[in-house]
Amino acid sequence: MGVVLGLESSCDETAAALVGSDRRILAQRIASQDEEHAPYGGVVPEIAARAHADRLAPMIAAVLDDAGMTLDDCDAIAATAGPGLIGGVMVGLVSGKALAMASGKPLMAINHLEGHALSPRLADESLRFPYALLLVSGGHCQILRVDGVGEYRRLATTIDDALGEAFDKSAKIMGLGYPGGPAVERLAMQGDASAVPLPRPLLGSAEPHFSFAGLKSAVLRAHESGQYADADIAASFQQAAVNCVIDRLETALSGHGDLRSLVVAGGVAANMTMRAALEAFAAGRDMAFTAPPMALCTDNAAMIAWAGCERLPLQQSDPLDFRARPRWPLDPDAEPVRGAGVKA
């Protein structure tokens, strides 16, 4: 059995974990920065990078201690090398390089999205390639076809906001605080999902991509009109978002009938209305549906260590001068999508 030390610092979670290739999580720690960023209603890159720099090294010492291990017991050091906020990514990657150099163990520079893409296999031994992955978080919004380790095809992405970002921005509009997803979901429980007419951007369009900027703007207008209760806006927003996701999945997966499993990952996977809709969608197509436990769905280091474990048999490692990549598409052949308001 191999053991990999994983480091994650690409957004606002500082995390370290030790994972065995037998799927045992030997130790893991995670520190969220929600409190630091809450006053700003979103992640502030400079604050995030500083917090990672303060916390990561003691956290690595702590997970080794938790597992009763030393670096000598590890077979590789896996660190997120992108995509993400560059300051944070550099903290984790440089730490990983230093540990790899000092211990003589191979460095694995992991694509954060690959961590998400493979994490369902850490939780579920029976999940075989290929499968369809819906990745919906604050920073990512993609549908991927996962054919094997290193074999990812992006079927859809967002032309503007990520889905979690739309939840966060809607929450901010209604003064619900950050992170907004859970707050919107709680409020939506008391609301009427058909009360507020909201758009479903790109619904029915031939390309399977997502767009949420128009939905968010409509939430702003509904809120400012003073005509609707926030609970009704929250419920209607959530319903519109779910409708969009299901419609986009239908389009993205047409022609991919060989995919027999649908997996959801990312923070928005916590949303119960979303889960129920995805479950029904999968059942209707005779696909198995799985969602990894929430701790593996949101950003964490176990998924980075696991991506390293998946690579151990392939004997792939990366050089010590590997560059941190703020942008790093999982599927390099995917065409860039340009839409209104797309980020450069």
Identity of the residue, 84 or 214, whose beta carbon is nearer to Zn ion in the bound complex:
84
Q: Which amino acid is at 6?
A: G
Q: Which residue stretch of 23-31, 52-60, 66-74, 132-140 sits at the interface with ligand KG4 (rule: CB under 6 A)?
A: 132-140
* Min dist. Cβ of residue 138 to ligand KG4 (A): 3
Site string for Zn ion, 127-146 (x = CB under 5 A): ----------x---------
If 0-12 CB within 10 Å is exposed, 13-18 middle and 19+ buried, where does residue 225 land?
exposed
If 0-12 CB within 10 Å is exposed, 13-18 middle and 19+ buried, where does residue 170 land?
buried
Q: Which residue stretch of 41-49, 161-169, 239-247, 293-301 sits at the interface with Zn ion (rule: CB under 5 A)?
A: 293-301
Contact call for residues 80 and 308 (beta carbons, < 8 A): no
Cis bond before residue 83 (omega within 30° of 0): yes
Give the tokens for residue 24: 């045992």
Q: What is the full DSSP assignment across 208-247? A: --B--HHHHHHHHHHHHHT-S-HHHHHHHHHHHHHHHHHH
Rounded to whole angstroms, the Cα distance separating 259 from 206 reads: 20
Site string for ligand KG4, 261-290 (x = CB under 6 A): -----xxx-xx-------------------
Question: If contact means CB under 5 to 8 A according to the sort of partner, which of ligand KG4, Zn ion, none does residue 87 touch?
Answer: none
Site string for ligand KG4, 185-224 (x = CB under 6 A): x---------------------------------------
Site string for ligand KG4, 150-169 (x = CB under 6 A): --------------xx-xx-
Site string for ligand KG4, 2-21 (x = CB under 6 A): ---------x----------
- Report if residue 170 touches ligand KG4, rule: CB under 6 A: no
Residue with tokens 């991506």: 307
Q: Which residue stretch of 97-105, 137-145, 250-258, 285-293 sits at the interface with ligand KG4 (rule: CB under 6 A)?
A: 137-145
Identity of the residue, 11 or 53, whose beta carbon is nearer to ligand KG4 in the bound complex:
11
Q: Which amino acid is at 109?
A: A
Among 299, 305, 311, 324, binds Zn ion (CB under 5 A): 299
Alpha helices in the chain (DSSP H): 34-37, 45-67, 86-103, 112-123, 163-173, 180-188, 213-225, 230-253, 272-284, 294-297, 302-311
Identity of the residue, 105 or 112, whose beta carbon is nearer to Zn ion in the bound complex:
112
* Min dist. Cβ of residue 123 to Zn ion (A): 16
Residue with tokens 């893409």: 117
Contact call for residues 96 and 307 (beta carbons, < 8 A): no
Residues in the site for ligand KG4, rule: CB under 6 A? Answer: 11, 137-139, 164-165, 167-168, 179-182, 185, 266-268, 270-271, 298-299
